[in-house]
Structure 1
Amino acid sequence: MLTNSLKKLTYRLHYRGIKELDIFFGRVADQLSELSSDELAILEQLIDESEDKIYRWVLGFEEKPTHYKKIIEKLLT
């Protein structure tokens, strides 16, 4: 059973605003149980960033910030 915070995070991951990020983060939502509590906290910070920034980081158009690099790389695998 999902806690309220995980339900909220799952919803936010599925409805991003950019279709490509909806697809990417929709897959991520299915893997939440595999993430540690620290990784979940970083993921929550990441999705508070602007759509444009996240899009450029995920697709590799811009260097990922150090504090997000590990979680983005993990989610891309």
Structure 2
Amino acid sequence: MTSRPLRVMECAAGTPGFGAQTGLMAEQNKNIETWRRRLTFRSWHRGTKELDLLFGPFADARLADYDAPALAQYEDLLMAPDPDVYGWIVGFEPPDPAYDTLVLRDVIAFQRTRHA
């Protein structure tokens, strides 16, 4: 029999209040919401109007659905040089492999459907 760590939800099964958030889970959710708000603000205030108009609406529409790993990829994308990111999103050049993630592909697809 292999041993594996029990998940919080497995440990809580059958106990009163099962399904309610623990203090730790509530704090993690609060932190991720703060992170989303910070990334949304940064999306609208990158420094170049072109990228503000590309990232801002995307952040408003999509970041609420992103989990922590996706938010980390998005934050990395926000830190990439503006000319490179603009070129990737509008299709002037292929994305750098280090930034070619599902998040970047989501940003590109969002822009294409938005302007189709």
TM-score range, shorter chain: 0.7 to 0.9
Superposed counterparts of 1:1-77, under 5 Å? 3-30=33-60, 31-69=62-100, 70-77=102-109
In structure 1, stretches of 5+ residues that fail to align are none
Q: C-alpha deviations, 1:4-57, integer Å up to 9, x for none?
A: 322221111001122221111111211111122211100101111111111111
State the TM-score, normalized to the length of structure 1: 0.82
Q: What RMSD in Å do the two structures reach over aligned CA positions?
A: 1.8
Deviations 1:45-76 (A, max 9, x none): 11111111111111111111234222121122
* Bigger radius of gyration among the two: 2
TM-score of the pair, normalised by structure 2 = 0.58
**Counterpart amino acid of residue 58 in structure 2:** V
The amino acid of 1:76's aligned partner reads I
Work out the number of aligned pairs and report it.
77
Q: Relative contact order (C-alpha < 8 Å, sep 6+): which is higher?
A: 1
